[in-house]
Structure 1
């Protein structure tokens, strides 16, 4: 497959895509977490569009189980798990029974006080658990606000590289995300050369199909997930329109209010990690300047010991070098 065509930032022409491919919106939310719509409404919208859909509620599978009962709509069993770190992990399964077992054994016993709270499992444990049930693990919106994407300052470079190797792939276009973050996510997906997915991350049915994942395969779960794993799937989509995002965020806000204490705790923890990260980067930049041959003479000690005292007359120069 031509790697350059795997990710396309344009409005999907669903009518044209459906003639040649199996098309699925792989990231959608129902009322069972922070979505606005019932499963019945989601199914009707999918029918009208003629595409498949994965209901990936936060830490809940009721919507995925309910949509599985509709034989006329392709649904991919899935869930979006909020890890202990706060980052979101998408897990898809070949069979609804595998999703049920995964949830019962690994997620439900570790649930927080609300469905939107973090579960008491770190990302690595979630990936390992999903793999035991033939799960396909995807990092949702890897670049996004604060800690919800895995590419954040909570993890060292070594930790992040390890996690990216453990997962099956990344979500490269998320319609709820900002353009600049989607572009970074797409570049990550391109460079990783792993499975890629895209979805509307819709919280109301008007958003369904804004971003889709499609593959030249039979319209069933096994063939579609096989295509995903074999890197034969492509992604096409754009960010949701402003009014759609406003409506979506108003729905999410109602649920998030119940999860306010958990969000405050995670934001404080993430804020500390950002401060530590930036402090480390500033320190590294200062020492890079110190090691520059033009600045070595500025560090001295009265007894002739170099590098132990700063000549404060060059502090403006150091500060300038830190921000340029």
Structure 2
């Protein structure tokens, strides 16, 4: 059983120097983040953590990170039903192949607010993802509608069979929501991840996924096997509001 620890990463005694430690969810200015990929990568190196740049429907930042530091090739994708998925690949070349075949130029247009929706519905999108060796994670299940996947998955429970893991700690979510999701993942017997969902370098590393792993493959396998730990907590109220305002502003189409 995975330990999900709601505590300050900097004060935690559960992470030691022999572990691979990664912030599994963050964004750059290639999607709706504020800072460029190099800034995020340098911050991860400063914090001595790994990173997975999971931009919405974009991969350039993730591929750059894989060249420069310990990084999980990843992307955040959204079905036409407005349901988000985090997909982590074992190899950068698989991420690139998936993107070129199923994501590039497959976006739905938005009039007022960019929800980053693709033309594929949830079933179609997951069918495409399952063709690859990867780990599929459900991020921030208790996000606001229309991206509340907790409600969606209770309505269509068969889709949860495709999930390897659930994001148990997301620093942009309220702690009580993260606790609900953590218990839900335990009930479903799913793996869990933790991440900051940072949209700027200051909040990187607020929540982390850690395990004893020597490479990306072993790290991802440990998530599936529930041999990792998740440590972190939510942003304070002001930081959360400031971040969400920035995300809102950057996603407005007018």
> TM-score, normalized by length of structure 1?
0.73
Whose relative contact order is higher, 1 or 2, with alpha carbons under 8 Å and at least 6 apart?
Answer: 2
Give the Å deviation of 1:100: 0.7
Mapping for residues 142-157 of structure 1, pairs under 5 Å? 142-152=141-151, 154=152, 157=155
Cα RMSD after superposing both structures: 1.9
In 1, distance between residues paired with 2:41 and 2:11?
Answer: 17
Q: Secondary structure at the match of 1:76?
A: coil
Mapping for residues 12-161 of structure 1, pairs under 5 Å? 12-13=9-10, 17-70=15-68, 73-113=69-109, 116-152=115-151, 154=152, 157=155, 159=156, 161=157
Corresponding residue number in structure 2 for 1:288: none
Give the Å deviation of 1:90: 0.5
In 1, distance between residues paired with 2:38 and 2:154?
Answer: 43
Corresponding residue number in structure 2 for 1:322: none
Q: Is the contact made by 2:196 and 2:207 (CA closer than 8 Å) also made in structure 1? A: yes
Q: Secondary structure at the match of 2:100?
A: helix
Give the Å deviation of 1:135: 1.7
Deviations 1:262-282 (A, max 9, x none): xxxxxxxxxxxxxxxxxxxxx
| 1:208 aligned to which of 204, 208, 227 | 204
Structure 1 unaligned residues grouped into runs of 5+: 261-324
Corresponding residue number in structure 2 for 1:239: 234
Structure 2 unaligned residues grouped into runs of 5+: none
Give the Å deviation of 1:25: 0.3
How many pairs align? 250
In 1, distance between residues paired with 2:229 and 2:104?
Answer: 33
Q: Secondary structure at the match of 1:181?
A: helix
Q: Secondary structure at the match of 1:127?
A: helix
Q: Is the contact made by 2:85 and 2:139 (CA closer than 8 Å) also made in structure 1? A: yes
Q: Secondary structure at the match of 1:171?
A: strand
Q: Secondary structure at the match of 2:21?
A: strand
> TM-score, normalized by length of structure 2?
0.92
Q: Secondary structure at the match of 1:102?
A: helix
- The structure whose Rg is larger is 1
In 2, distance between residues paired with 1:117 and 1:46?
Answer: 26
Task: Tell me which protein shows more strand as a share of its residues.
Answer: 2
Q: Is the contact made by 2:35 and 2:200 (CA closer than 8 Å) also made in structure 1? A: yes
Q: Is the contact made by 1:173 and 1:198 (CA closer than 8 Å) also made in structure 2? A: yes
Deviations 1:254-306 (A, max 9, x none): 22211x7xxxxxxxxxxxxxxxxxxxxxxxxxxxxxxxxxxxxxxxxxxxxxx
In 2, distance between residues paired with 1:208 and 1:48?
Answer: 11
Give the Å deviation of 1:242: 2.4
